[in-house]
Amino acid sequence: MAKGKKVAPKNQKQDAQTTQSTDEVKVFHNAIAIDFGDDSCTVGYFSHKEGKVIIIQNEDGDFQTPSVLSFTQEELFVGKPAVHNEARNAKNTVYNIKSLLAGGGAHDTAYPFQIEQTEEGVSVQVQYKGESRTYQLYELVSLVLAKMKSIAEFYLSKKVTRAVITVPKYFDEAQRAVVIKASENIDLEVIQLLDDPIAAAICYGLDEVTKDAGDVTALVVDVGRHTSRTAIVKSHNTTGCLAVVSNNLTWECGGDILDDCIVQFLLTDIESRYFSDSNERFRESVTNSLRVMARLRLESERCKLILSQSNTASIELDSLFDGVDYSYTLNRARLDNLIAEPVKALLDLVKRTIAGEKSKIDRILLVGASAAIPQIQESIKALNIPNNCDKLIDEPIMSGAAIQAYLLRTRIDHRIEHKSQLENVGDDVSLVDERVPVTSTSIGLQANGGLTAVIVPKGTSLPHTATHLVSNATPNKDGKLLIKVVQGERPFAKDNNLVNFPQYAILCGNEAQDRGQQHVELIVNVSAEGKLSFKAVDSETKQPLKLAPTSEPYTNGVGAYPSVQDILDDAEKNVDSDKVRVSGAEARSKLETYVYRMRAKNIDDESARKLSDDTIKWIQENEEGTHQDYLMKLREYHGAIPK
């Protein structure tokens, strides 16, 4: 298949970016692709007729639409108009939405708009049409995706109903669920959330079936706006299947950071040339001026892109401040020196990713506009993994997603059209090669002793359904069985992420139950898009039980990690200490089980019941005891309790 190619839009007025009513428009039977980027989004689709990916321009004639929302007294601006409105409406202009979704405080950023942490997660408060409004993250994502949907619908003159949306590999199940919810909010069915490195690999042709060739291992280097990400993708050329086997992330290198290196240099030059005797006046006229700083940042980004192709770039800013016309000529050697630290951080990231895989890397795939900087390309080539990088392709992630959207749409339509035949002869998987998504980390429940009972292990192919038998770890007075969902690789639930779902109480009836007397089959389903859902049935009668969200605070858990890689690194760092703690927890569980069993056996013996109650109280007061502590207590209890 031909890869991405940009095309101009139809003739349209700037204010005509609206779609016709549903009654007047045909439905677009293909699926569009949306690259949900760090600071901008791109939309397109694969045209079977033209045999290429069509990347659609917006009403401004740009292929990229900034993921920026500006709430004003009159209306909501999305994209470039919102960017232009930022200087005079900073407190109500929301940007970095993807970064907020990815972890919010994972990097030190002071936002001019107000961010709140609520029970539902991160939210943003703005003034819109004269009143204060609070938006959840999924609502902000909805507004951005709605803009991309409208761009596609205007170009196609058809209603768009299905899409493949790209997300970072490090997004966990809860973050992916936010994107799904945002899409559902605008009547857009997500047929797949496609990992960025897989999309890039598809665009570069790693999915093409070549029966005579061996498997290919590729290193994907994605220099994004706020972060840089690397991934190792393996392609099985006899089947075309792709799998991400490793991924890493750094907040120390990204387009914004590279731009800021140039900005800081220009500020130093301006101060030395015009403000050598007054730091206070320099701050007031330059660094405190949103207009001046915005112009410097835009010019720095322009110079960075020019220096990717040329040796010099001229900066000419008329009336930058106090009537001063500022000019400077930046050369490539100076740029290389300015961005040396972020580039070193990127190389460290690459080295960390390829550790143990260097001799197996067959191709290097470059992604992101900043990846075109010669110093970055030359530094990666110097690692000899291999000697040559693939030529940088425009919008590779969006193009790969568009190809995948076309293939998946073909498979879905074929299943619908030939449903009866498929039920009889089985699905022909050779019709369309479908890349199977997997869980990025393990999903489990908090079990007895505070341990994590893993239900869906890391790397499980999606969609996936698992059944887990749960019972009450403590006596229960109201018949409710509380389940707590965690995500991560640590053996203790409190050391893992809290999945962004409420706790659930399984309503098993109104009768009080002693410890271990309630038995429920919990059915956990993870969709292909990573959406998590639960069902519960009585283990004996198989009757369905109601699951009710509870407002009870869940105080355990470390909160959100910046990335999946941090989860894996944290588990590896604590592997030895966790073994010691697990040994203690297992001994505690053994003691606790024995005490409750003997308490039930001697329920009519007052002295035995008191001994059991005192021992249970001791266990609760010594939750972090050692294996030896619990073993000694078990011997003491065993010797005192009537046999």
Q: What is the pLDDT of residues 546-558, one digit of tens each?
A: 776 665 544 333 3
Lookup: tokens for 158: 């058809």
Quote the pLDDT of residue 525: 82
Quote the pLDDT of residue 629: 81
Distance separating alpha carbons of residues 122 and 131, to the nearest angstrom: 20
Quote the pLDDT of residue 419: 43
Give the DSSP letter string of 426-464. ---TTSS--PPPB-SS-EEEE-GGGBEEEEE-TT-BSSE
CA quadruple 254, 259, 263, 265: dihedral sign:
positive
Quote the pLDDT of residue 582: 82
**Where is 315: in which H helix or E strand?**
strand 312-321
pLDDT band of 507, cuts 50, 70, 90: low
Specify the 3-state DSSP secondary structure of 268. helix
Specify the 3-state DSSP secondary structure of 291. helix
CB atoms within 10 A of CB 276: 9
Q: What stretches of 16-88 show up as alpha helix (H) in DSSP?
A: 80-84
Nearest to 103 by CA among 37, 178, 175: 175
pLDDT band of 165, cuts 50, 70, 90: very high
Quote the pLDDT of residue 358: 56
Cβ contact 72:128 at 8 Å: yes
Give the DSSP letter string of 97-113. HHHHHHTSTTS----SS
> Does residue 248 or residue 350 have the better pLDDT?
350
Quote the pLDDT of residue 411: 63
Q: Cα Rg for the chain, rounded, in angstroms?
A: 29
pLDDT band of 258, cuts 50, 70, 90: very high
> Does residue 607 or residue 425 have the better pLDDT?
607
Judged by average pLDDT, the poorest of 328-332, 487-491, 600-604 is 600-604
- pLDDT for residue 484 is more than 70: yes
Quote the pLDDT of residue 503: 56
Distance separating alpha carbons of residues 366 and 303, to the nearest angstrom: 20
CB atoms within 10 A of CB 551: 7
- pLDDT for residue 539 is more than 90: no
pLDDT band of 591, cuts 50, 70, 90: confident
Quote the pLDDT of residue 16: 39
Quote the pLDDT of residue 1: 46
- Give Cα separations from 435 to 175, 201, 235, 399, 406 (angstroms): 20, 11, 10, 15, 13
My answer on whether omega of the bond before 168 falls inside 30° of 0, hence cis, is no
- Give Cα separations from 223 to 34, 40, 77, 117, 371 (angstroms): 18, 14, 28, 29, 6
> Does residue 100 or residue 342 have the better pLDDT?
342
Give the pLDDT mean for 585-594: 81
Give the pLDDT mean for 496-525: 65
- Give Cα separations from 117 to 104, 111, 124, 469 (angstroms): 10, 14, 9, 34
pLDDT band of 528, cuts 50, 70, 90: low
**Where is 281: in which H helix or E strand?**
helix 279-282
Distance separating alpha carbons of residues 333 and 374, to the nearest angstrom: 11
Quote the pLDDT of residue 217: 83
Distance separating alpha carbons of residues 159 and 192, to the nearest angstrom: 19
- pLDDT for residue 23 is more than 70: no
State percent of the chain over pLDDT 90: 16
State percent of the chain over pLDDT 70: 77
- pLDDT for residue 168 is more than 70: yes
Judged by average pLDDT, the poorest of 366-380, 438-452, 578-592 is 438-452
Distance separating alpha carbons of residues 83 and 80, to the nearest angstrom: 5
Judged by average pLDDT, the poorest of 17-21, 242-246, 428-432 is 428-432
- pLDDT for residue 604 is more than 90: no
Nearest to 462 by CA among 433, 434, 489: 434
Half-sphere exposure of 620 (CA within 13 A, CB side): 8
Quote the pLDDT of residue 342: 92
- pLDDT for residue 308 is more than 60: yes
CA dihedral of residues 94, 100, 104, 109 (deg, nearest 10): -40
What average pLDDT does the structure give for the chain? Answer: 77
- Give Cα separations from 613 to 330, 447, 620 (angstroms): 77, 22, 11
Q: What is the pLDDT of residues 443-469, one digit of tens each?
A: 888 776 678 888 888 777 777 888 888
